[in-house]
Amino acid sequence: MNYYDSNNLKKIPDLIRLAPEATQSYLNFEHQVYEELKAIPLRTKELIALAVAHITGCPYCIDTHVKKFQSLGGTREEIFEAVLVATCTRAGAVLSHATHSLVAYEEGMSQEQQTSTEVQPKHTPKCFC
């Protein structure tokens, strides 16, 4: 079985029939975001969407939004730069969340152990992304 076979998309009508009202709500929302809201140009929305698609790892969305962006005059360089921005932001978020691991680890240590392992950095970032 190929999990990401584009033929799988032919099953979307089956999904719609399973929950037509919920599906219609989503389709209305998508239409409003992409077509009715005008503060961000459609080309930019598609660039954002393709960067997000890489973070969510959806090959269907990557394919769809890259093709839409391309049809609006988008370049390969813009696509890859957007993917790099998404990559950097995602990596920064992972690093920032690593602070929770340190807190959890320190909660399991005695006060004496905590004091002996503390290092004061020269610069503390507010966020890595």
Q: Per residue in 18-44, pLDDT tens? A: 999 999 999 999 999 999 999 999 999
> In the prediction, which pLDDT does 123 show?
72
What domains are there in the chain, each with its CATH number?
8-39 (no CATH), 40-97 (1.20.1290.10)
Please report how the helices 76-107 and 42-56 are oriented relative to each other, as an axis angle in degrees rounded to 10.
Answer: 50
What's the count of helices (H) and strands (E) in the chain, helices before strands? 6, 0
Nearest-angstrom CA–CA distance, 23 and 32:
14
Q: pTM value?
A: 0.78
